[in-house]
Every structure is written in structure tokens, then in C-alpha cells.
Amino acid sequence: MSDRIVVCDDEELIRWSLCEHLEQEGYTTIAVANGQECLDAVRQHAPAAVLMDLKMPVMDGLTALRTLRESDNDLPVIVITAHGGVESAIEATRLGASGYIGKPFDLREASLQLARALSEHQLKREVHYLRGRERGGYDEIVGSSPSMQRLFDTLRRLERVDAPTVIIQGESGTGKDLVARAIHARGPRRAAPFTEIDCTALPEHLMESELFGHERGAFTDARATKRGLFEVAGGGVLFLDEIGELPLGMQSKLLRALENRKFRRVGGVADIPMNTAVVAATNRNLRDEVKAGRFREDLFFRLHVVPIEVPALRERKEDIPELVTFFIERLNKSFNRSIKGTNGKAMELLQRYAWPGNVRELRNVLERTVILLAEDVIQPGDLPPELRFQPAANDGAGGTATGDGPFVLPDAGVDLEAVEKGLLRQALARTVGNQSAAARLLGITRYALRYRMEKFGFTA
């Protein structure tokens, strides 16, 4: 057994006795003295469960439990309450505590409560997993198309393998972060922390300190020693999002750490062993980046131990009805709505659209629609202009279904400027900003395209 358990109590003797007892039973324990330290330990160590006193200084147990639940954390928590604290224990149960034990308590009772809470939590995870399989998904990733089934098959194989390096590739908005979280949640390192960093968020000198840490005095503002994410992640998973944006100098330092499985803090002289699995993600074509000299070839091959490709939404449009149902259920809960779904015409528009922003764009469109919807079923008129005013279906002979042009004018008319702006945005998104290609899609000259870009403020 290797489950981490946080033991939180302001009485040192109780902390010590609980930790000693649980470690004899095979658990790994982390002792903390108040609710704030407990929250910090949960964030840093991703424990399997928490044993927590209710009355403590700095932050009491109820406040800590409430904070955990507000962050949508279903971590099993067993509360410890003194004699006469039944009301507090009932309140803790209402907030989602898995159980409670009263002081003075028998250590064997704590073991039984803990074993039961862990068993129930595992059962919930299995039910969630089976429901995901029924709908053709994997954790929070939804889809039944052949391309998604291939993705899920790869993820299921990774459940049994402790892969040191995984690279996830796909366009922006396809859900690469969800894939990374699923790899951690289902893999051998699920009991250890999941830590992530956006490689576009920091300049190179700060990125090195963030990843590897620094020693006190290593640079002007280094007033104290800082542990980097490779240390904080411990035996868990470090997710490097948008790794294609890393500067070349930082790429070489990352490569050394991955190759040698050790690193040094900035300003340090001692090597620190690296026991962290690395999951990287990028929306760039790294082979093209290597050819252009923007990405190191040796790092490319080091990362491509297990490559995973996340398909664009336009390549799996048969998943759109399933995704729409999934998002509407979520949004109903978030906004206290009772939207039943879409009608046939609205779904047809959703499936016909190219979705340059992928699943993220679909979710944003549905969120805006659910918030503003007056009825309980989404109609075509409830969708944004870029979906309502799409080209009509081709008649197979180079013309259109109506013969009057590529668009069908609705009875209520249109906002022509909104249509023009929407088509311009789509063309630029589909061609990834290539103005010549976008102009060809719209059947206009590049100069005409630039005029319209300036008109709508797209020059940036």
C-alpha cells in the first residue's frame, strides 16, 4: 500500500500517534497542524485521504473542508471531533466528509474509517469510469468516433505503463490538457501530484527557476531557496503545456534533465534526482519546427517516446451531438438552467460548421447560448451569426442547393456586416492567418481582404 494520508491536528501527540499507527499499516503520512497547512499539503502532495480535526487555530477543519469542496475536490475526508461536537460533525458530513470519529478514539477505529472511505472513493471512480465508457468517453474526454476510440485505446494502454515521457499534439482547443490530466488520473502515478506550467507564460530566466528552482542568492531577487516544479511534482506528473514555445536555451536544459534524470537548481552545485514523469503538449508541428531550426531535434526525439495525436473537431463531427449533450448538462448545473437540448436544424448547423477553435469554441458557443436562451430548446436563431450564415450544401455539380448563391437569406433578414465579419474571421482562422489563402477562400483579392481586416480591426 502506498497511499498518502494527510493527518491534520493541532495536538502534536495525536498527530504523532495517528502517523505512527497508519505508517505501521503501510500508509505514507504527512502531518500538519491546521487547516491552511492541510490545504497546502493537499495541493502539493495529492493525498489519497485526509484525517482532520475540526477545532484548530489559523484555519479550522470546517473552513478547510468547505474550501476543498468549493474547488470541486472529492478527496475523502474523515473529521475528528471532541466529545460534544456532534453538531460540527453533522455539518462536516453535510459538506461532504466521508465520516467522523470522536475523541478520545481507538486507533483501530481510525483505520477502519479510513479503509472504508478509500474503498468507497475507489468505487465512485470505477462507476465514473464505467459511465464514461458507456458514453464512449474517457474521464472528461467525450467522443465515440473512430479517431477518438484510437486515442482512448492508447490512453488505456498507458494505465498499465509508467511512461517517463509523453507528447500530446493537436490544434488549440482540442483538449490536450484533458488528455494530460487523464494520463495522470488513470496511470501508475495517480496518487502523486499533477503539476502544470504554461511554457508561454514566463520569460526564459524565470522559466528555468520555475522548473528547476533556485538557491538563495542565485540572482538579485533570490532571497530564499525555492524548490522548482520538478521537485514539487515529486513522483508525480509534470505537464509542460505549449512546449513548442520554449526558447532554444531552455530546450537544451530540459533535454539534459530528461536524459540524465537529474538537474540542479539555479545557482546550485548539487545534482537532484528527477523522479517525475513529463507530459508535454503543443499545437505546433514539431517536425516543421525542427526543420526551421526553432526546436532541437534531439529534444524532439526524446519527447516522442509516446506520441499522442488529438484530432480536430472538424475531423470527428459525428461526436458533436454527444459533446453538445455533455456540455449542456454541465452548463445547466453551472447556471441553474434546464435546457433540454437543440432542435434538428440547430444541430445540423452545429455539425456543418468548421469549428476552427475546436471543442473549446463549441463549449464557448454553447455557454453563451445557454446563458442568453429564453426557451428550453436551442433553435437556429439562438446560435451566433457565423453558424447561422454558413454556405448552403453543395449540389454536387459545383453549384449550390438553391441556385441563387451560396447563402440562404432567412425570413427575418441578416446583419450583413456581422456576416461579413464572421466569414472574415472564419477564413483567417481556417488558414491560420495566411492572408493570401484566406482571400482565395472568400473569392476576393488580398488587397480587398486587408481592407476588410482594417475595417473590422483584425490587423493585430
CA–CA separation, 389 and 353 (whole Å): 10
Identify the band that residue 71 occupies on the pLDDT scale cut at 50, 70 and 90.
low
Q: Is 316 exposed, middle or buried (0-12, 13-18, 19+ CB in 10 A)?
A: buried
Query: For residue 135, is it within any domain?
Result: no
Q: What's the grid cell of residue 443?
A: 473569392
Query: For residue 134, is it within any domain?
Result: no
Shared domain for 146 and 123, answered yes or no, is no
Q: Find the DSSP H helices in 135-280.
A: 146-158, 176-186, 204-212, 229-232, 248-260
CATH number of 338's domain: 1.10.8.60
Shared domain for 271 and 349, answered yes or no, is no
Q: Find the DSSP H helices in 336-357.
A: 344-352
DSSP assignment, residue 447? H
Shared domain for 67 and 81, answered yes or no, is yes
pLDDT tens digit string along 101-158? 888 888 888 888 898 888 888 777 656 555 544 445 577 899 989 999 999 999 999 9
Identify the band that residue 51 occupies on the pLDDT scale cut at 50, 70 and 90.
very high
279-293, 326-340, 415-429: range with lowest mean pLDDT: 415-429
pLDDT tens digit string along 221-259? 777 888 888 888 878 899 999 999 999 999 999 999 999
Q: Which amino acid is at 1?
A: M
Shared domain for 19 and 93, answered yes or no, is yes
Shared domain for 351 and 409, answered yes or no, is no
Nearest to 209 by CA among 273, 267, 262: 267
Query: For residue 347, is it within any domain?
Result: yes
Residue 355 has pLDDT above 90, yes or no: yes
pLDDT at position 278, please?
95
Query: For residue 109, is it within any domain?
Result: yes
Query: For residue 132, is it within any domain?
Result: no
Q: Could you tell me the pTM of the whole model?
A: 0.62
| CB of 378 closer than 8 Å to CB of 384 | no
CA–CA separation, 297 and 56 (whole Å): 54
Identify the band that residue 54 occupies on the pLDDT scale cut at 50, 70 and 90.
confident
Shared domain for 16 and 94, answered yes or no, is yes
| CB of 239 closer than 8 Å to CB of 229 | no
Identify the band that residue 453 occupies on the pLDDT scale cut at 50, 70 and 90.
confident
User: 3-state DSSP helix/strand/coil percent for the chain, to nearest 5?
Assistant: 50, 15, 35
pLDDT at position 333, please?
87
CA–CA separation, 281 and 308 (whole Å): 9
Query: For residue 72, is it within any domain?
Result: yes
pLDDT at position 366, please?
95
Strand pairing of 272-273 and 226-227?
A: unpaired
Shared domain for 62 and 173, answered yes or no, is no
The full DSSP string for 114-163 is HHHHHHHHHHHHHHHHHHHHHTT-BTTB---SHHHHHHHHHHHHHTT---
CA–CA separation, 115 and 26 (whole Å): 12
DSSP assignment, residue 318? G
pLDDT tens digit string along 364-420? 999 999 999 988 899 988 998 888 887 655 434 333 344 444 566 666 777 888 888
Shared domain for 154 and 201, answered yes or no, is yes
Shared domain for 64 and 111, answered yes or no, is yes
31-45, 74-88, 154-168, 254-268: range with lowest mean pLDDT: 74-88
Tell me what percent of the residues of the chain surpass a pLDDT of 90. 38
Shared domain for 356 and 291, answered yes or no, is no
Q: For residue 198, report the phi and psi dihedrals to the nearest 5 degrees.
A: -90, 115
Parent domain of 20: 4-127
pLDDT at position 222, please?
77
Tell me how far the alpha carbon of residue 222 is from its chain's centroid: 31
Shared domain for 204 and 218, answered yes or no, is yes
Q: How many independent structural domains does the chain possess? A: 4
pLDDT at position 254, please?
94
Residue 167 has pLDDT above 60, yes or no: yes
The overall average pLDDT reported for the chain is: 85
Query: For residue 133, is it within any domain?
Result: no
| CB of 320 closer than 8 Å to CB of 354 | no
